[in-house]
Amino acid sequence: MQKNNSQVAQRKHFRIESEIMNYMNYVMKNEIYDENVKKATITYVKLTKPRDELFVYIDTYDRTKIDFILKCLNEAKPAFKRALASHLNLRKIPNIFFERDLTIDRMNEMEELFDKINNKNK
């Protein structure tokens, strides 16, 4: 049974995203010396299909400082690009965009809605 070319491409794309996420977390903790950057955690990454843009979604324990941490991460972009260039075997290193991971915010909103529904039914 042969694998479909699109399935193989999807697996390769997912593997590259996973490798990027693991390595960027490593770089953030071990090679970037800004303590504010070390407070962030990469929750997931999204590499666009032509592999020219990399969206890195981050979260942090102290959510009140996330905007400041995003600013620090953006200042450290050149270091991340150099690290990725030396570690990954890609033709072109993608432009990196750091974004706030909104998953927990959305989860809290849904939980509040469920609580309102439950209180309404009582």
Q: What is the pLDDT of residues 78-112, one digit of tens each?
A: 999 999 998 888 788 899 999 998 887 888 888 88
Phi, psi at residue 102, to the nearest 5°? -95, 10
**3-state class of 44 per DSSP?**
strand
pTM, entire model: 0.79
Tens of pLDDT, residue by residue over 51-60, are: 889 999 999 8
Phi, psi at residue 54, to the nearest 5°? -125, 115
Q: Is the pLDDT of residue 63 over 90?
A: no
User: How many distinct helices (H) and strands (E) make up the chain?
Assistant: 5, 3
Distance, CA of 88 to CA of 39 (rounded, Å): 24
